[in-house]
Amino acid sequence: MNNQPSWSRPILMILLILAFQPVLANAAPGAGQPGAFLKVSMDARAAAMGSAYTAVCRDAAAAYWNPAGLAWVKRQEFMATYTVFPGSGDYTQLAYALPLNAWGFPANNKSGSKGAGPEGTIGIILRRMATTYDIEARSTDSLNPDYLFSNVEGAYGLAFGMPIGRHINLGLGAKGLYHQLDQKDAVGWGIDAAIAWNGYPGLTTALAVRDVYTCLAWSTGLKEQFPIVFKLGAAYRITAMESHGLLFSADLEQSISRRATRPRAGLEYAWADILFLRGGYDDGQIAAGGGVRVPWIGWARAALRLDYAAVQDRIDGWDHWITLKIEF
């Protein structure tokens, strides 16, 4: 007879993910490869949890993290994120989620009565990151630059997530890319896919495949092929006395290029779904943050959430993230 506590299996699964060893121990870091900006965390909640978010996301951010997570979004949501990087760079992100069943469809052509809408949720995402606006260009060895230029990358995407069973969701996303560097520019596109499962109480697992057939074509004729990235995640939620909740999460990220597996872990404490405290670990860097969620006065179904994250920067100090989310 197995005397193992029922709650231990989800914890063991998360620990196994964290214990997974790198496939290529001597691989170089991921910085500098095509599409590196796509690995930047998308919102403050995810950043504060060390970006261990593949199995956690159930909001508009799923359009980026895991399209299958969109299937759990039952209300319209809008999210806006901003952060400033060391130097003169910054990052801006907008995301919107629209559940299709919020529309409803005519069940009877004569009466015009409304029936249940289709299953699934559409997600729209816009991302823009400028590493710096003040790069100096010189044609000769002089103190004064000829001019200043910027390095700006961005993406815009459309995703869809839907349930295919009681406990399984599938998601698919398509994205367009652009990159402007000095007087050169590039455009491209790519595909993301994901699957999520929540058949065990409190436990969610997910697998996302990112940057399938993703490439960037420069005006110079150069073409950059993005490496396919696999992200495996698990999240386990514990609720006590109705008002207190703990959320544990773990992620592994593996690129098909010669890069080491990237481990992540996150923790979130929630009180009454109003106040949140978070911490995380992202491949050697730590993060922390919190948030508050309040009903929007005067609009019963609407709610507003403000999240903050402080993330240890690999180059200089800390990055500070702020995300505003509206549910309606």
- Average of pLDDT values for 162-184? 91
Dist. CA 133–CA 140, nearest whole Å? 21
Residue 307, pLDDT score: 96
pTM for this predicted structure = 0.81
For residues 126 and 73, the answer to whether their CB atoms sit within 8 Å is no
Give the C-alpha distances (Å, rounded to integers) separating 199 from 53, 110, 304.
Answer: 18, 41, 30
What are the tens digits of pLDDT across the range 92-143?
899 999 998 776 644 444 444 445 556 899 999 999 887 766 666 666 677 7
pLDDT category of residue 268 using cuts at 50, 70 and 90:
very high
pLDDT category of residue 74 using cuts at 50, 70 and 90:
confident
What are the tens digits of pLDDT across the range 298-310?
555 788 999 999 9
Closest CA to 203 of 13, 68, 3, 2: 13
Pairing of strands 90-99, 223-225: unpaired
> Is residue 247 scored above 50 in pLDDT?
yes
Closest CA to 319 of 279, 298, 288, 273: 288
Residue 286, pLDDT score: 94
Domains and CATH numbers, the chain: 8-327 (2.40.160.60)
> Is residue 5 scored above 50 in pLDDT?
no
> Is residue 52 scored above 90 in pLDDT?
yes
Dist. CA 218–CA 213, nearest whole Å? 16
Dist. CA 95–CA 291, nearest whole Å? 18
- Average of pLDDT values for 71-81? 92
Query: Which amino acid belongs to residue 133?
Result: Y
Strands (E), the chain: 77-84, 90-99, 105-106, 114-115, 121-137, 147-163, 168-181, 184-200, 203-218, 223-225, 229-240, 244-255, 262-271, 275-282, 285-295, 303-312, 318-327
For residues 191 and 171, the answer to whether their CB atoms sit within 8 Å is no
Of 13-17, 100-104, 210-214, the poorest mean pLDDT is in 13-17
- Average of pLDDT values for 22-47? 59
Dist. CA 138–CA 19, nearest whole Å? 49
Residue 284, pLDDT score: 85
